[in-house]
A and B are shown apart, each in its own frame.
Chain A
């Protein structure tokens, strides 16, 4: 799920960035630092949409660095248990397949793939229904439900299922 929230961060800025463009530098550094990171609480920071305010800088003794408390608005993405997501399959193996929804990696175990889908090994490993009508392979788009998440400091890993109504392949690159 995406959220638009306000976060705060203390930015350390090197003195050489001081000057007219200080604010710009600060913002670009903030973007560089924050976008794409993941925190357990908020999930992935997708984009910074604005700066709320920049606090007073504090000069660090010894280094000359200046710390600015920056409040910024950003869009975060955090997967939740039970959430339905659309994801792109990145890898298929006999244990299931991995899919990615943006920065989140989701594993769908073969136990959570409908029983009528069988693993087919080969050049392009895939899961196929017995009648061959549905095929999950690399680059397929699937709709899945997240049943568990593991949130580490730097990544979020989920396991999902497609063994439910209205879940499964939504767009197969090979057919389109």
Chain B
């Protein structure tokens, strides 16, 4: 090209160039427009700068040509020549590529030698064959010109562009400028016969040579890794088609495909092969006796594709000897001799001839046995490259150690390093990592990672007087740790383990594992600094470290170590630590059952309690119980270094120490005095929650200490969370191991449920506290609970209903009201049916009821069954006066029964009609009214009826009434009192329903319903007249 240009008139060239540049400008603009959507300013910059560069280059070109002329004529050559020679070395790919762009502009002119040279430029990886072609071409072309001339021209060509490079340092922008743009030739992908890619390329080249300028393609590329296609570089598709015409290897039918500009660089970028078999790399054998063995490459023959590797021999000398003796050796199929270094003396003893040979190539001496070469005990074997793998070799420590055996050191480390580095993951280094340089001039310089880019790592060196950051290749770096660092292993066989660095041996760390307190050797590359404490691999399948497992032969033990495929299990044999290696399949199951055992002194030990060994070889050891099984304890003593700290002892040889952790709360109060005061260790861990809720009561001097450990739960009311009885409440009667016997509140039966299925969050119901208060108070003041106004059924009236006496007095009336309609309330029926015993007549009851009403007695039974909770019944007896009555807390559920209570026998509500309605009326619910203070009543005294205001209502059914007339206070039985029904516009008090207790104004009456406007909320509600009482 340059020659051509040289031949031409300079001016012409310039003109042409400028034209070109104009075109370029336009092109650029178009290009920019095209690329608008990419919106990348770098593109724009690139095109512009390419323009500028080109211009600059042209100038330089001229300059240089002048220079060259000078040179040619022997003038002032010195300096420029030196400059050129200096640049010679700089003529690498990029520069050639730049040349390429220049050439592209000239391509219109065509020219075979341009093409060929181009080809060379574009195909730096092309092998020798092509170069061979080129040489004669050039010489032919340059016939008649002297060598100097050629040299000069070549110099000129390559140095010209490099000048720009040299003066202004290569920047990214300039590199960008070299990228192809729209004005450049394009790549077309052409389909050709498979396996004929190279051939096709050569054919095309030949065609170009033959045809000359009429071929308008600029280059052909055949890539080894791309089958079935070749790339042709040309401006137009038609040029490609033209060139391909007549070539049998190219399928003309297939349309050439344009390679997008973005991908053009990728086409020609050389992917360096990840695996290059170099000497001293670690490989693994793929086949044969040595399959899987680690080997080290000692020699590579790329031509023959063979590698000589160094192996630890696996040779059965006995077998070899007998074979040499001519004896038939039974081939032991499948049994590989163990790897062992060759012992020549041993071989000689077996009459195996050991020859000493000198390798003609290397001059090393080898021992030769039976055609196999040995050196230093290693076997040197030449194998096909295909029979080894070099990718992702991670030599384990043991293997490396073995290779180290015969006293090699130093460079060997480097070898293993290089292999290790090759396997590094991306993002290996992170900012802040402490690193050390292991190769090159800066070896042993320590520093910290500042920034990581692709392969280079910016580090901040530790030494002063160095630049702030240094850029080092990743492979020259190694992580650096100091003794005392706490680290975590992130790859390799020990992955996950943590420990403290004890010693650093170059890139190998010795770590003291946190859990096993044993040493581990790991590569510095495999660890990261971490404050975390873990154990490494702790799980295979379902079994985890420290699990108690049942083994095949019905023995059991604790997993004390998890190895790659097996567990170390400390067998449950007390007084003798037996450890066995157990495979996954040998484990039957995990034992998760929790049980309690007795220690020597009879106290119950449960898991997590701290015990001390009192007898046997482990005497004096102390620690928390981790597992209990068949009377055998597994104790974890952190000071015990064997078996991961586990000790296996009989429970009888142990004594419980101090307070049980199971009751201590999480704040560490396990140490607190309280814990020790109450012999708590006996309480199994699970009821902890109860415990926490209840300590005060425990201290309340209930004197539970003497009873078994389960009291905390026994007697409490719980709710069943799971199972067929889910949702039921009941009182715990008994606890046996994991099962709890619960007496259900709602069904008169006792069921057994699992402890885990109960919950104690039954707020409403009394914990022992409530119970105790009942015990205490029941006899004296049965009505006491009623004083809590908040409690729905504790308002005086209601409660009075609940109290025995009152009830007793009242029932007759209520019953009378009730009975006719009993069938109308089915639930009631059920209760009665279900609890026939409950309505057995009681003297108490009888006393209160008039003889005529005796037959109606059954009703209380309804009440009773309704509330038939065990708890209540038990407390019932405490309230001795009337056994039935205490059960009445449930009474609220009896529909409306009490609603009638206030009613005098003659009261209207008692009529069947209304009664029926009432019962069914939703408004008139179980909260039925009774007397309330401040309501206006009629008091029947003998025959006279006085109007009075209820002042006080006693739970026993008596009430104090202030008579309206004279202001006298009289006391009357509820049965003698009749509520004065309100009229329209009267102030009323509501005695039943949701609004019970509130006052309002009766704004209207509709049949039996009254329309009431409530005072407090101003709501208007419709209520049954019977629960409305006129307010005084």
- Give A contacts to B, CB under 8 Å: 12, 14-16, 29, 32-33, 37, 63-64, 81, 90-91, 93, 95, 105, 107, 109, 111-112, 146-150, 152, 155, 157, 159, 161
B483-517 Cβ-contact flags toward A at 8 Å (1 or 0) = 11110000000000000111100000010101001
Give the shortest distance, in Å, between B497 (CB) and chain A (any CB): 14
Report if B533 contacts A (CB, 8 A): yes
Contact B699 A14 (CB under 8 A): yes
**At the interface with chain A, which of B209-217, B668-676, B856-864?**
B668-676
Give the shortest distance, in Å, between B617 (CB) and chain A (any CB): 15
- Give B contacts to A, CB under 8 Å: 483-486, 500-503, 510, 512, 514, 517-519, 533, 638-639, 641, 667-669, 671-674, 695-696, 699
Q: Give the residues in chain B near A107, CB-CB below 8 Å.
A: 512, 517
Contact A161 B483 (CB under 8 A): yes
Q: Give the residues in chain A near B641, CB-CB below 8 Å.
A: 91, 93
Give the shortest distance, in Å, between A117 (CB) and chain B (any CB): 15
Nearest to B510 among chain A residues (CB) is A111
From A16, A63, A148, B486 is in contact (CB under 8 Å) with A148
Contact B500 A111 (CB under 8 A): no
Sample (8) of A-B pairs whose CB atoms are under 8 Å apart: A81-B484, A93-B641, A109-B512, A111-B519, A148-B484, A148-B485, A150-B533, A159-B512
Cα A122 to Cα B510 with chains together (Å)? 25
Contact B674 A14 (CB under 8 A): yes
Nearest to A100 among chain B residues (CB) is B639
Give the shortest distance, in Å, between A8 (CB) and chain B (any CB): 15
Q: Give the residues in chain B near A105, CB-CB below 8 Å.
A: 639
Cα A152 to Cα B514 with chains together (Å)? 11
Extra A-B contacts (5), CB below 8 Å, given A33-B668, A95-B519:
A14-B674, A105-B639, A111-B502, A112-B483, A148-B483
Give the shortest distance, in Å, between B844 (CB) and chain A (any CB): 38
Known interface pairs A16-B699, A161-B483; A109-B671 also in contact (CB < 8 Å): no
From A95, A111, A152, B518 is in contact (CB under 8 Å) with A95
Give the shortest distance, in Å, between A32 (CB) and chain B (any CB): 6
Contact A159 B502 (CB under 8 A): yes
Q: Give the residues in chain B near A29, CB-CB below 8 Å.
A: 672-673
Cα A64 to Cα B485 with chains together (Å)? 48
Nearest to A17 among chain B residues (CB) is B673
Contact B503 A112 (CB under 8 A): yes
Cα A150 to Cα B671 with chains together (Å)? 24
Contact A33 B512 (CB under 8 A): no
Nearest to B692 among chain A residues (CB) is A63
Q: Give the residues in chain B near A15, CB-CB below 8 Å.
A: 696
Give the shortest distance, in Å, between A166 (CB) and chain B (any CB): 18
Contact A63 B501 (CB under 8 A): no
Cα A32 to Cα B814 with chains together (Å)? 64
Give the shortest distance, in Å, between A113 (CB) and chain B (any CB): 11
Give the shortest distance, in Å, between B546 (CB) and chain A (any CB): 17
3 nearest A-B pairs in the assembled complex, by CB-CB distance:
A148-B484, A147-B484, A111-B503
Give the shortest distance, in Å, between A160 (CB) and chain B (any CB): 9
Q: Give the residues in chain A near B667, CB-CB below 8 Å.
A: 12
Cα A12 to Cα B696 with chains together (Å)? 13
Give the shortest distance, in Å, between A38 (CB) and chain B (any CB): 11
Contact A150 B674 (CB under 8 A): no
From A12, A111, A155, A161, B669 is in contact (CB under 8 Å) with A12
Give the shortest distance, in Å, between B703 (CB) and chain A (any CB): 15
Cα A16 to Cα B674 with chains together (Å)? 10
Give the shortest distance, in Å, between B487 (CB) and chain A (any CB): 10
Give the shortest distance, in Å, between B668 (CB) and chain A (any CB): 7
Give the shortest distance, in Å, between A163 (CB) and chain B (any CB): 10
Q: Give the residues in chain B near A109, CB-CB below 8 Å.
A: 502-503, 510, 512, 519
Give the shortest distance, in Å, between A161 (CB) and chain B (any CB): 7
Cα A111 to Cα B517 with chains together (Å)? 14
Q: Give the residues in chain B near A12, CB-CB below 8 Å.
A: 667, 669, 672
Cα A109 to Cα B641 with chains together (Å)? 14
Q: Give the residues in chain A near B674, CB-CB below 8 Å.
A: 14
Known interface pairs A93-B641, A95-B518, A148-B486; A37-B668 also in contact (CB < 8 Å): yes
